[in-house]
Structures are given as C-alpha cells and as structure tokens.
C-alpha cells in the first residue's frame, strides 16, 4: 500500500501583465513558499486575495501547489 508524504505547499498568485502581439494574455506569477499544509482553503484564498491587493496589477487567479512523494507504507 502506498502512502503520500507532503514535501511542500506553496501559494501562487497570478497577475495580469498585458497581452502579447498575438492577443494572448501575459501572466506574472508570484510564489509564496512554506505554506502550512493544514491551512484551510478559505484562509488560503483570503490571504491570496489580500496579497493580490498589494500589487498595481490585477490579480487573476490563485493556486495551491502541493508537492508530495509516494512511498511504500
């Protein structure tokens, strides 16, 4: 049976960075490491929203990124 071990959790905030000549939207991403893996989703969302307000660019989206390993357990 496999067991999942969480190695790291990160929060990414995506910002509008204009458009390419082709019309496709450019994104800038800021990544915040060492996020508590037990943090509630609503707390993460509120935090990401608050961090987005510090930028002059419009925040377009938020992502929670979890890196884990699978080991035999």
For residue 36, the Cα-to-chain-centroid distance in whole angstroms is 13
Q: Note if the pTM is more than 0.75.
A: yes
The tokens describing 46, both together, are 């509120």
Burial 20-32 (b: 16+ CB within 10 A, else e): eeeeeeeeeebee
Domain ranges of the chain: 2-72
pLDDT tens digits for 10-43?
A: 999 999 999 999 999 999 999 999 999 999 999 9
- CB-CB contact of 26 with 2 (8 Å): no
Report d(CA 50, CA 39) in Å as an integer: 16
Q: Helix or strand or coil: residue 47?
A: helix
Q: How confident is the model at residue 73 (pLDDT cuts 50, 70, 90)?
A: confident
């Amino acid at each position: 049976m496999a067991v999942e071990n969480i190695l790291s959790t990160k929060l990414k905030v995506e910002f509008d960075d204009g458009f390419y000549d082709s019309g496709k939207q450019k994104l800038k991403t800021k990544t915040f490491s060492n996020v508590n893996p037990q943090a509630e989703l609503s707390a993460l969302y509120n935090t990401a929203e608050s961090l987005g307000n510090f930028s002059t660019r419009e925040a377009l989206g938020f992502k929670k990124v979890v890196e884990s390993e699978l080991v035999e357990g």
